[in-house]
Structure 1
Amino acid sequence: MAALETQLTELQKQYDDFKTLGLQLNMARGKPGSGQLDLSAGLLGAFPSYKLEDGTDARNYGILNGIPECRNLFAGLLGINADRIIAGASSSLNVMFDTMASLCLFGTGGGKPWHYYKFEGTPVKFLCPVPGYDRHFTICEELGIEMIPVPLLEDGPDMDMVSELAAKDPLIKGIWCVPLYSNPEGVCYSDEVVDRLASMETAAEDFRIFWDNAYGVHHFEERTPLKDILAACESAGHPDRTYYFFSTSKITFPGAGVALVASGEKNINELKKHMSAQTIGHNKLNQLHHVQFFKTPEGIRHHMELHAKELAPRFQMVLDWLEREISGTGYARWTSPKGGYFISLYTKPGCASRTVELAKNAGLTLTPAGAAYPYGNDPEDSHIRIAPSYPSLEELEKAMKLFCICIKLAATEHLLKEEKEN
């Protein structure tokens, strides 16, 4: 105990020194840094032309499913049939919320609206691989959809559990998936997981996979392949099982980009029907400008190589600090992703909330502990999401030095408390 008390005193001194600096550092969300945003500065210039290839003036009403040039661009990038794409709002979160709300209001495939069950006192449920994306969970909470956590393994969700749950409960209507460099774990789904999701038996005929491929082109070095979920569903006889979402939010400008949803023919027709009451047409000028800026799928891939040069050093700095300061202590473990935007860190059980609290009190804002779990409930109180993209390298150096002190301080406090109780 004496050694721990000495360690606590030294760590407290280091921590107090940081508090005097008046820092205002932020690693809470996966926001692109200024260097990444500068890469898309060309989008802020004048339009070479407002006309589409067929002569249509993009400044006017119309084209509900998005201009053909934009749909073709992303079809080539993602390997999706352009006719099964709706290019619409500026962010995929926008499109995901609207799609889920549509299912709650109208149902799909002739089934009952999902909110029918809520008003009957038995709300529908969604499977949520954890740790996962907090915004997905917020959509479910907002719409009154019950969330069921399932473990996220090294190659995707625990498919034995997913298959068992989906097969026996008709109120389980779907699953959230971030299939490539998942938020926040960095997991990439295997071909086997994709095939099992596409082909598994479900008690609900209107079971839907919400496939949020947010980081589909966000590689650091080698491109990690991802099996085509839409083709897999088609082959398995479930062509309308998946809604596939993608956007340029972390490619060009967040909130000012292009987002799309792709699915089977019946789903796309349903969505277009509901959209026709919502809008006459989306922002075609923005779609056209993105086409003019990137020109080809290879143009997007080259652009993302420039993003990787901005992001990779930040991720390496985080990993270097953790390796140097935390490795071997038993105080935490962490992931080493090959792409995406986040690193998952796991403190000793019971220490995540305290670590985040210490960081905040010293001027470092992190994502709230537990945010990567439905209802904010991390049963181990151990998970923290690290988002290195936004701070400058100089700021990130300070943030990581402070963060490592907070991890060690929280763990030492916890160990001392355990020894005193025993």
Structure 2
Amino acid sequence: MSAPNKSYDPVEVEALKPEEIERLRDEAFAAFAAAGDLDALAQAKTAHTGGTSPLSLANREIGALPPQAKAEAGKRVGQARGAVSKALAARQAELEAERDARVLVEEAVDVTLPYDRVPAGARHPLTTIMERVADVFVAMGYEIAEGPEVEAEWFNFDALNFVPDHPARQMQDTFFVQGTTPDGKVTEGDESGVVLRTHTSPVQARSLLERKPPVYVVCPGRVYRTDELDATHTPVFHQIELLAVDEGLTMADLKGTLDHMVQALFGPDMKTRLRPNFFPFTEPSAEMDMVCYVCRGESVGNPDRPCRTCGSEGWIELGGCGMVNPKVLTACGVDPRKYSGFAFGFGIERMLMFRHNVEDMRDMVEGDVRFTRPFGMEI
């Protein structure tokens, strides 16, 4: 940029001549008018109003004029730049209006169309209820424990005090997995020593081996038995079991825990009872019943109010429980003279049938969305 020169004639500066300023202004007008969309207008804006545009360069030349010539040249350039800015704003408003009108047509939504052409998904109710039960015990301070579904026979039976000739260890009741010996020999049936776990109790044994007492764990998971698929049985089902091992635990602690569970799941007025039974891994053992959640026991001896859910007996069997057998504690490295424990378990499918009056267990496994959809997306 040249320095001011008082003897310089402004009419001889080509970029500041009136006809040149008008030409630059008209070129800007034409470029704006030719822009067909906002992207093209943005390019034209940079070319005609940016820092290196002709009008901006002409404006810089004013500084080189003598004082008496600056006012007229500045006015001429300023008017041209103002007109260009005004034309740019007007064209931008036009293009934005065209864009908005086009979007309204191209992205129109027909509000009269059916809203549910794609039906909402749903979580499987077995998953939901298993998580809900586990949450009850997590809130009491228990941990979630998991284990493999393909299990060693020792964890599934021996550690839990199942004697070698126990009926549950036969192939009619248990799925044995084919295996191989170190020398490559294929082993089948009960010689393999590997099974699909028949209950989630092996997770309890693993927990005792991995943790030092006190141990408070809840073990949800899938289990396998050689049952035929019918309305009340399935070869693949779900269980949730609980194990508590600590100093001084008694049947009273077990009973209180069971009462809290059924009250949290079925209502604050629910009660439980224990009936003597036998399980290899607990001693003493009991069957746990809860008050019928439909009739609340009022159907007992009342022919005018029969209850299909409990058969008018007033109680519903829920699962087995008891104090952990000292032999199980010893097998897992826990001193039974110092520690005692309780455990119980029940089938998730059975609880789902109780809570929601599901009559056929096959509905849970056939994958029909008409079964799962009513349960919604509860998380």
Which protein shows a greater Rg? Answer: 2
TM-score bin (small chain): under 0.3
TM-score by length of 1: 0.24
Q: Report which of the two has the higher share of strand.
A: 2
